[in-house]
Structure 1
Amino acid sequence: MARTLVLIRHAKAASPGGLPDHERPLAGQGRRDAPVAGRWLRSQGVSPQVAIVSGAVRTRQTYRLLAAELADPPEPVVTDDVYYAGAGDLLELVRALPVEASSAMVVAHNPGIGMLAGALDDGTSQVPAGDRPRGGFPTSSVAVFSVDGDWAAVDPGAARLVAFTVARG
């Protein structure tokens, strides 16, 4: 069974003085970009059944704004396990996704989410080279992967990048 995995880096965050990193909200640019990401996902026919979202304010806001653009967004699973996660930790979260879900989304932070996107890519993408992640995974990056088999068997180099954008509004 082919599955769809969407990896998203939160939209642009503000940097107000005195706030802990976990509490940083989206900047104006981020509030404009997040809905664009949702509309792009809808245009790609992507409809996640599961959404795992970091507990940080900016990731929760990103998900809320992009989910408002989806036809039937799932209630997010919000966890600080994503906030502190490196690529390996995020891969373990992907491997633990419900077997009945054929489509899932993870909204997280760099460097972990960008490293996971790079690690999963099997190199067979038909996405033009100029439209793939290069030199990082900027805010509002959205990578859509096709995964064969069960979530539990997802390994590095075992997913095909089918679409990528950096949403800007």
Structure 2
Amino acid sequence: MRRVRCMAVNRTIVLLRHAKSAWGLDVEDHERPLSKRGKRDGLAVGEHLARHRIEPELIWCSRAVRARQTWERAVKAGADADRVNYDDHLYEAVAHELLKLLRKTPDEVRTVMMIGHAPGIPDLVEKLAPRDGKTELWNRMDTKFPTSGMAVLGYDGHWSDLRKQSATLLDFAVPRGKPKK
């Protein structure tokens, strides 16, 4: 049973770049599946979410095969969400387009997750969170926001009011699965 939560305070935004996709296949970019490493990393994403008790009420997920498979692997490893909206607009979206989509999140949602692509997801973190504090996290993201990179932001307010520099960067992780021996 879910906890009853107060409106418009302590919201969480999880921005995830899909896991590693396969290359060299004779398919359109949108149809590229996860690579072997991507499948392992998708499981690691799910383990990370479960371990940190991050349970989104809503996920906005790209319809690209690699993004959908990332979430499927995460669920297989223990991740959970109330609802997943697969949306064509996340594929090749830039930060301001992703922000518009986040603003459509219903106010009863406390934790929202977005599974998308670079450069949109990393750019959205830059757009939402000012660079004050959390220097080590920003340095890691500046070095690279790789596949399976996951930024967690805090936000106080209604989703429709989400604006540039209105969130706080709380964490940045890159869950990686171990290859089988």
TM-score calculated relative to the size of structure 2: 0.86
Count how many residue pairs are aligned between Structure 1 and Structure 2.
169
What's 1:66 paired with?
Answer: 74
What's 2:57 paired with?
Answer: 49
What's 1:34 paired with?
Answer: 42
Contact 1:127–1:161 under 8 Å retained in 2: no
The one of 136, 150, 155 aligned to 2:163: 155
Q: How does 1:12-31 map to 2 (within 5 A)?
A: 12-31=20-39
Which deviates the most, 66-75 or 23-32?
A: 66-75
Question: CA deviation digits over 1:82-103, x for unaligned, max 9?
Answer: 1131101000001111111000
Relative to structure 1, is the Cα distance of residues 16 and 71 closer, same or farther in structure 2, using a 3 angstrom cutoff?
closer
Q: State the Cα distance separating 1:131 from its structure 2 match.
A: 6.9
Which deviates the most, 23-32 or 135-144?
A: 135-144
In structure 2, distance between residues paired with 1:127 and 1:34: 27
Relative to structure 1, is the Cα distance of residues 71 and 112 closer, same or farther in structure 2, using a 3 angstrom cutoff?
closer
Structure 2: unaligned runs, 5 residues or longer? 1-8
Higher CA-based Rg: 2
- Tell me, what secondary structure is at the counterpart of 1:167? coil
TM-score calculated relative to the size of structure 1: 0.92
Query: How much identity, in percent, do the aligned residues show?
Result: 37
Q: State the Cα distance separating 1:11 from its structure 2 match.
A: 0.3
Q: State the Cα distance separating 1:14 from its structure 2 match.
A: 0.2
In structure 1, distance between residues paired with 2:65 and 2:165: 31
Contact 2:137–2:171 under 8 Å retained in 1: no
Q: State the Cα distance separating 1:71 from its structure 2 match.
A: 5.4
Relative to structure 1, is the Cα distance of residues 78 and 15 closer, same or farther in structure 2, using a 3 angstrom cutoff?
same
Q: How does 1:69-108 map to 2 (within 5 A)?
A: 69-70=77-78, 72-108=80-116
Contact 2:46–2:74 under 8 Å retained in 1: yes
Q: State the Cα distance separating 1:6 from its structure 2 match.
A: 0.3
Find out whether 1:3 has 2:6 as its counterpart: no
RMSD over aligned Cα, in angstroms?
A: 1.7
Contact 1:96–1:152 under 8 Å retained in 2: yes
The one of 113, 116, 128 aligned to 2:121: 113
- Tell me, what secondary structure is at the counterpart of 1:113? helix
Q: State the Cα distance separating 1:125 from its structure 2 match.
A: 4.5
Contact 2:13–2:111 under 8 Å retained in 1: yes
Which deviates the most, 51-60 or 68-77?
A: 68-77
In structure 1, distance between residues paired with 2:141 and 2:147: 12
- Tell me, what secondary structure is at the counterpart of 1:104? strand
In structure 1, distance between residues paired with 2:99 and 2:79: 27
